[in-house]
Copies of this chain bind each other. A is one copy, B any other.
Amino acid sequence: MTFINKLNAVWKAHSSLLCVGLDPDIAKFPAHLQGKPDAILTFCKAIIDATADTACAFKPQIAYFAALRAEDQLEEICAYLRQKYPHIPIVLDAKRGDIGATAEQYAREAFERYNADAVTVNPYMGFDSVAPYLEWKDRGVIILCRTSNPGGSDLQFLQVDGKPLYQHVAQLVAEKWNTNGQCALVVGATFPDELAQVRKIVGDMPLLVPGIGAQGGDIQATVKAGQTANGTGMMINSSRAILYAKTDEKTGEDFTQAARRVALETRDAINRFRAA
């Protein structure tokens, strides 16, 4: 099944637009995992099992694995997801961007080595830096458009023909690059008005929306601005708020239970504002 079809199916089946980001930071792991050689794998599998039915996607952030020489654990996490939760898309957050011959290697990394359903990529180098990913017809390519960080405005808000650059990127992708219906865009939750602008430009194209949770984006404004007519169209990502949820000491809750509680709260908070 293609990435887009998988996403449509899981939005419905799980009644959820929540994407659970996997950003493993060992210093924040529970004490009993500290110092274990496969701590990242154990931690991520526990989070996955605790939140799978609340999520429409899992998004491992490859930088956290690369800094820790833990690519092998990322491979195992992706294989675990494919095997146990084959209906939930894996979004590899890699934000790659390079010329064609090199992009082919990055596509192999994402789609063959990690067997991800989709990968995030950077548009700065243009269409031929994106095209090699599109050769993988059943996979998705999620292109940075308007990012949730403060510095995002440095380039993305430069005015081109009276419109900010990020809107040109949205238009380029919608009108030219999305030749086979495989594309999606990254648009941060921290700018709901801009999310609404992008939604207008791209029709029903899926949006990956980081920036709620630890980054402080407003859920109501985000959902209202970004959803499609049928109340879907978004993977709203939360990473740290779920992974490192504060456990409730009175109830003896462990980290997986705390993660599940926050994931359910986030899913439900999103659903409250979705169109029927």
From A214, which residue of chain B is reached at the shortest CB distance?
B101
Q: Which residues of B contact A105 (CB under 8 A)?
A: 61, 63-64, 66-67
Chain B residues near A125: list those with CB within 8 A: 122, 144, 147, 149, 151-152, 155
Q: Please state if B154 and A172 are interface contacts (CB–CB under 8 Å).
A: yes
The answer to whether A156 touches B126, judged by C-beta atoms less than 8 angstroms apart, is: yes
* Closest CB in chain B relative to A195 CB, distance in Å: 17
The smallest beta-carbon distance between A246 and chain B, in angstroms, is: 19
Chain A residues in contact with chain B, CB under 8 A? 23, 61, 63-64, 66-67, 69, 71, 95-103, 105-106, 108-109, 112-113, 122-131, 144, 147-156, 158-161, 165, 168-169, 172
Assuming A124-B123, A159-B160, A165-B158, is B150 touching A106 (CB within 8 A)?
no
The 15 listed contacts between A and B (C-beta, < 8 Å) are A63-B109, A67-B105, A67-B106, A67-B108, A100-B149, A122-B122, A125-B144, A125-B151, A126-B151, A126-B152, A127-B151, A128-B149, A128-B151, A130-B151, A159-B160
Query: Hey, which chain B residues are within 8 Å of A108, CB to CB?
Result: 67
Across the A-B interface, give the 10 residue pairs with the lowest CB-CB distance, nearest first.
Answer: A126-B151, A126-B154, A128-B151, A63-B105, A67-B105, A67-B108, A99-B149, A66-B109, A127-B151, A124-B124
Is B113 a contact of A126 with CB atoms below 8 Å? no
| Least CB separation from A144: chain B residue | B124
Residues of B within 8 A of A113 (CB): 66-67, 69
User: Cβ of A100: which chain B residues have Cβ within 8 Å of it?
Assistant: 149
For residue A161, give the distance in angstroms from its CB to the closest CB of chain B: 7
Chain B residues contacting A144 (CB-CB under 8 Å) are 97, 124-125
**Interchain CB contact under 8 A, A63 and B122:** no
Task: Give every chain B residue within 8 A of A122 (Cβ-Cβ).
Answer: 95, 97, 122, 124-125
Q: Which residues on B sit within 8 Å (CB–CB) of A161?
A: 159
B-chain residues with CB within 8 Å of residue A160 when the two chains form the complex: 158-160, 165
Nearest Cβ on chain B to A170's Cβ, whole angstroms? 12
Give the docked Cα–Cα distance between A152 and B127 (Å): 8
